[in-house]
Amino acid sequence: MSLLNFFQWCEQSGIGDTIRRSSWLFPVIEAIHLLGLGVIGGAVLVVDLRLLGLGLRRQSAAQLARDAQPWLLGSLLLMVITGGLLFLSEAIKLYYHEAFWFKMSSLFLAIVFTFTIQRKVIMAGETQLRPVWSKIVAVVSVLLWSGVGLGGRWIGFS
Amino acid sequence: MQIRLLTLLSAMVLALCYGVTARTAAPNWGDAGHQILVSSTVTLQATPSHGIGSALLAFFSRLGDSTWSTGLHESRYAYDLIESVHVWTLCLFFGLAVLFDLRLLGWTMRRVPVSEVASRLLPWTVVGFISMVTSGTLLFLAIPLRSYQNIFFRTKMVMLLLAGLNVWIFHSGVYRRVATWDVARVPPRAARVAGGLSLALWVCIVLSGRMIAYNWFDCDRQPQRPIVNFLTSCVPTQSEEH
């Protein structure tokens, strides 16, 4: 089964069909998707600002990352669920949309980066690493997550 | 301090936007009735109604014909780019505001003093808010009349005022005594209520903001229920009513 076949199968699924037939389901799911984006944004930014030496400077990045973790994971789950539903309703359009593939690549990289490299740098603390590395990690993290958000927004533009 | 800065900056942005639009709209002023009739993108019937409502309708109709507005509306990328800025700064403003509200509710960063979260994060929400108001105003300017009559836009503006009121009440009320509950893992009831209200209002603002894009209740889609036309200041013509 080719990738296109899979996308066609998704498009023809009962859930996708239900969302397409409804005039309000897609907008409502999309709005919830946007709320999730906002919360992810906050959870990512509060840690990245700290790594840049801004925001809550008196707390350790590790502590902030731990505090933000449930909100990051929770909103990420919300986004995957709502995003999955949106995907089912227009899979074929997305297959041919560059912004979708850009977004998925950014998402993959952002998740891998956040939970491996960034996690290691944060847990290493300021003592073991030169501050410049924290800053680089923060900038990369902001760029990757911005790629996800903006890629998502550009799916809506034709 | 925060709140005063926020109010001042919002007022400046709004004044600036008013200055810009008033200047570009001015040449059309004497010809208002005609402008409404020839305004092509939106259906507007300004004939029977009077008062502030119809004056605003006429104003936003003229605004839609200004060079600024048509430029934003017709540019290939301007609208999309400004909307992307609006979405990006949503993360900055909404995301960090939500974190502060969650701290007030005692749901995150319980070990960080509330005043520290406020003083270190709220300046960023001010930056985010200014960017949102600026980009939002430009988005409005691109489609002024349609946005002004849009039921979700109106809901959003009312809730923005309520959210502002909530911020003011919080900062002039329970937050003045923050020293007494600064390190409380779960802040006092008044602070939790403010946090919860703020969270609910901003969530509704984001939801209704997203819905502005949909035209279910737009004036040019008749017939609508009378209550919808009342809420959108829409006066359909005889032929549209059936």
- Domain ranges in chain A are 3-155
State the pLDDT at residue B38.
38
Selected for mutation to probe chain B from A23, A29, A39 (highest B CB count within 10 Å) is: A39
Q: How far apart, in whole angstroms, are the C-alpha atoms of residue A98 and residue A80?
A: 19
A57/B120 CB distance under 8 A: yes
State the pLDDT at residue B108.
93
| Mean pLDDT (chain B, rounded) | 82
Selected for mutation to probe chain A from B120, B135, B152, B216 (highest A CB count within 10 Å) is: B120
DSSP B48: S
CA distance A73 to chain B (A): 14
State the pLDDT at residue B7.
64
Q: What is the ipTM of this complex?
A: 0.92
CB-nearest to B99 from A35, A46, A153 is A46
Asked if A139 and A34 touch (Cβ cutoff 8 Å), the reply is: no
State the pLDDT at residue B233.
81
State the pLDDT at residue A85.
95
A42/B98 CB distance under 8 A: yes
Q: How far apart, in whole angstroms, are the C-alpha atoms of residue B227 and residue B217?
A: 11
A42/B90 CB distance under 8 A: no
CA distance A7 to chain B (A): 27
State the pLDDT at residue B210.
94
Q: Which residues of chain B have pLDDT under 50?
A: 1, 17, 19-48
State the pLDDT at residue A92.
92
End-to-end CA separation in angstroms for chain B: 55
- Please name the amino acid found at residue B139: L
A55/B92 CB distance under 8 A: no
Burial (CB < 10 A; 0-12, 13-18, 19+), residue B237, is exposed
Q: Which residues of chain A have pLDDT under 50?
A: none
State the pLDDT at residue B12.
60
A23/B216 CB distance under 8 A: yes
Selected for mutation to probe chain A from B96, B100, B152 (highest A CB count within 10 Å) is: B96
Assess A61–B contact: CB distance below 8 Å, yes or no: no
Place of tokens 């007494």: B180
State the pLDDT at residue A144.
96
Q: Which two tokens stand for residue B21?
A: 């639009």
Give the chain A residue nearest B109 (alpha carbons).
A67
Rounded to two decimals, the pTM is 0.84
Angle made by CA atoms B27, B28, B33, in degrees to the nearest 5: 160
A45/B92 CB distance under 8 A: yes
Q: How far apart, in whole angstroms, are the C-alpha atoms of residue A98 and residue B197?
A: 40
Phi-psi label, residue A60: left if phi above 0, alpha if psi -120 to 50, beta otherwise: beta
Q: Burial letters for A15-50: b for 16+ Cβ neighbours within 10 Å, e otherwise?
A: ebeebeeeeebbbebbbbbbbbbbbbbbbbbbbbbb
**C-alpha separations of B211 from A60, A95, A104, B202 in Å:** 39, 26, 25, 14
Q: How far apart, in whole angstroms, are the C-alpha atoms of residue B9 and residue B128?
A: 12
Neighboring chain B residues of A27 at a CB cutoff of 8 Å: 210-211, 213-214
CA distance B99 to chain A (A): 7
